[in-house]
Structure 1
Amino acid sequence: MIRAQVRGIGHYLPERVVDNDWFTTFLDTSDEWIRSRSGIERRHFAAPGQTTSDLAIHAARAALDDAGMAADDIDAIVLATSTPDLTFPATATIVQAGLGMTRGFAFDVQAVCAGFIYALANANALILSGQAKRVLVIGAETFSRIMNWDDRGTCVLFGDGAGALVLEAAEGDGTNADRGILATDLHSDGRFRDILQVSGGVSSSQTTGHLMMAGKEVFRHAVEKLAKSTVDVMAKAGVTADDIDRVIPHQANVRIITGTARKLSLPMEKVVVTVQDHGNTSAASIPLAMSVARRTDRLHDGELVVTEAIGGGLSWGAVLLRW
């Protein structure tokens, strides 16, 4: 059977690094307060005039280089973002042009912090259906543009960045020993949309708005839903937690990461954690963490990897793949 296998991975972070002490210059907060509640020590912010597509193009080029491919080797781009350059066209088409890709198609996926999981599932479906042979999957965000800098509970948590990977169709035996995406699991429940949202919108207010979050409520949903989705995606592929070599979760909050691992009885030695250096980069956090893990020798060929995320919507899900 056909499997969507990873051929290359890359990421990009803006040059500006903002540590926790920066927030103490205008907020009633401290480095200790931020670290103890989130695990975050620093994050990157995009420069003035630097857009989501700029970050995405850098990450995409790195992934293409890693795969040994050119832009026109790609059939499709699926870009996950909640901070697009423009209302339309899709930021993916801007990336397509920026890469010099003159064929194929490109579109955006919007599922907030779960965006990359949704993008991976969509890219996998494109490959399995024969719509595309090679898909560039990107998560890119400039969340610093939608922060309320008076809200110390949210503005300290987020950062900007991008990550990308190249998926390619390849033949497998149809067992969970195959390389590539083995199972996906997606969910959403709009009844909880108010606990994590942005106040603006084209249709509702004609403004960009600011991020608003009920942190305790999000945490309560996150651990339960992420653990359940992870169990379900493993069951679909016929594997157990003991079979997992690496967990690469959405990098939102170290307490959510450790709480989910504990609920699944997965040792933290298997979990990739980068939130301390990047903050929550929403749809970019998983591919960014994957790329960093690959470059720091924490992710190897043949390893069984589970990745999961939850975001506004609420939207959540998990993907199981063999690297």
Structure 2
Amino acid sequence: MNGLESKARITAIGTYAPDKKLTNQDMEKIVETNDEWIVQRTGIHERRIASEEEFTSDLCIKAVENLMTTYHKSVEDVDLIIVSTTTPDYPFPSVACQIQERFNIINAAAFDLNATCAGFTYALHAANGLITSGLHRKVLVLAGETLSKVTDYEDRTTCVLFGDGAGAALVEYDEKNPSFIKSVFGTKGNGGKHLYRSGLSTKMEDVSLHGKGNIVQNGREVYKWATRTVPEGIERLFDGIEMQVTDIDWFVPHSANLRMIESICEKSLIPIEKTLNSVEYIGNTSSATIPLALQLGIEKGKLTNGQYVLLYGFGGGLTHMGMLIKWDVNPNSYSRS
């Protein structure tokens, strides 16, 4: 860990994606596009879409339930809830407060965090720091998004990308077997105008905003920033430690776009075969892409205990965070319910 030796471990994970699918063939009926164009440029075949009655809190609740069932965990003694989201049910109360109420977590602080597509790694970083410092002992981290509710389905450059989903992770005090090795992060605030969702203000840096509450993206600029910044961050991540990038077992970047991931891998000398993603059949779910990709890796028998995993979130802000962790999440050995 940067500055302090970590005392925190990820002990459980859970995910949820809505049942409804929006395929590329469905997209052809909505906007001027086709399956070949979408796959060639993004790698996406279909997305999962929340129903009209499903909101971010609902997806997060299902992810926690999945975590509890799979790993036989209780969350009643959680002392902090952090939810990463850009699409909360309401401006306030927070989704974290809704989670507290739903699971009757009596003695917990609760807040939402918005670091867009880097949100899951930011939330893990915060949980690690707060546990390592001794301020908390058991933190429930969630990332949930219902991007379909803020997508402009008349904008063919963005509407083919986004889907809905949620992930949850339990981070607990464990001095002997911590998960977290090192983190890197950075922000380029003057790039915020290239990826935003308009709100109360109608201008950013004297640039008029568009979208009326929907996602607006300058894909070319975001692509250039991500494919330059993430490889530089990966290089910094391994600077000064005994490990090298060739030592990692899996690279789990934010699943923004498969072509972007391929470019990042090429520049970072990471074989594409070492990546886990969730974008092909769930879509870009912002902060939820990384936990969804981890879960898919587990289900496919790829991600196993003792492996070294590089997580890297990046997105609107513009902001990014990468972290190197050792994966040791075992439902049989570490059930504490």
TM-score by length of 1: 0.94
Q: Does the alignment pair 1:221 with 2:220? A: no
Q: Does the alignment pair 1:251 with 2:251? A: no
Contact 2:6-2:180 within 8 A present in 1 as well: no
Q: Does the alignment pair 1:194 with 2:193? A: yes
Deviation at 1:274, TM superposition (A): 2.3
Cα distance between partner residues in 1 of 2:107 and 2:202? 32
Q: Structure 1: which 4+ aligned runs deviate by more than 3 Å? A: 201-205
Deviation at 1:2, TM superposition (A): 4.5
Q: Does the alignment pair 1:307 with 2:306? A: no
Using a 3 Å threshold, how does the CA distance of structure 1 residues 48 and 234 change in structure 2: closer, same or farther?
same
Deviations 1:32-65 (A, max 9, x none): 1111110000001101121100000110122233
The aligned runs of 1:65-76 (5 Å cut-off) are: 65-76=69-80
Deviation at 1:179, TM superposition (A): 4.2
2:289 to 282, 285, 288: 285
Cα distance between partner residues in 2 of 1:35 and 1:281? 17
Q: State the match for 1:97 in structure 2.
A: 101
Cα distance between partner residues in 1 of 2:94 and 2:155? 30
Contact 2:254-2:290 within 8 A present in 1 as well: yes
Using a 3 Å threshold, how does the CA distance of structure 1 residues 126 and 158 change in structure 2: closer, same or farther?
same
Deviation at 1:237, TM superposition (A): 4.3
Structure 1 stretch displaced more, 49-58 or 66-75: 66-75
Please tell me the residue identity of whatever aligns with 2:31.
Answer: L
2:51 to 47, 50, 55: 47
Q: State the match for 2:87 in structure 1.
A: 83
Please tell me the residue identity of whatever aligns with 1:200.
Answer: G
Cα distance between partner residues in 1 of 2:51 and 2:238? 40
Contact 1:67-1:166 within 8 A present in 2 as well: no
The SS at the match of 1:71 is coil
Contact 1:111-1:312 within 8 A present in 2 as well: yes
The aligned runs of 1:311-322 (5 Å cut-off) are: 311-322=315-326
RMSD after superposition: 1.7
Using a 3 Å threshold, how does the CA distance of structure 1 residues 248 and 87 change in structure 2: closer, same or farther?
same
Q: Does the alignment pair 1:32 with 2:36? A: yes
Using a 3 Å threshold, how does the CA distance of structure 1 residues 237 and 96 change in structure 2: closer, same or farther?
farther
Deviation at 1:194, TM superposition (A): 0.5
Q: State the match for 1:21 in structure 2.
A: 25
Contact 2:277-2:289 within 8 A present in 1 as well: no
Using a 3 Å threshold, how does the CA distance of structure 1 residues 69 and 237 change in structure 2: closer, same or farther?
farther
Q: State the match for 1:135 in structure 2.
A: 139
Cα distance between partner residues in 2 of 1:236 and 1:16? 46
Contact 2:14-2:70 within 8 A present in 1 as well: yes
Structure 1 stretch displaced more, 252-261 or 59-68: 59-68
Contact 2:100-2:108 within 8 A present in 1 as well: no
TM-score by length of 2: 0.90
Deviation at 1:226, TM superposition (A): 0.9
Cα distance between partner residues in 2 of 1:122 and 1:208? 32
Contact 1:182-1:237 within 8 A present in 2 as well: no
Deviations 1:89-109 (A, max 9, x none): 211111111122122111111
Q: Does the alignment pair 1:164 with 2:168? A: yes
Contact 1:5-1:181 within 8 A present in 2 as well: yes
Deviations 1:177-205 (A, max 9, x none): x5401111121111111100012337989
Gapped runs of 5+ residues in structure 1? Answer: 173-177
Aligned positions, number = 317
Cα distance between partner residues in 1 of 2:202 and 2:195? 18
Cα distance between partner residues in 2 of 1:303 and 1:45? 32
Contact 1:114-1:309 within 8 A present in 2 as well: yes
Q: State the match for 1:175 in structure 2.
A: none
Contact 1:31-1:41 within 8 A present in 2 as well: yes
Deviation at 1:266, TM superposition (A): 0.9
The SS at the match of 2:239 is helix
Cα distance between partner residues in 2 of 1:236 and 1:64? 38
The SS at the match of 2:236 is helix
Cα distance between partner residues in 1 of 2:273 and 2:322? 20
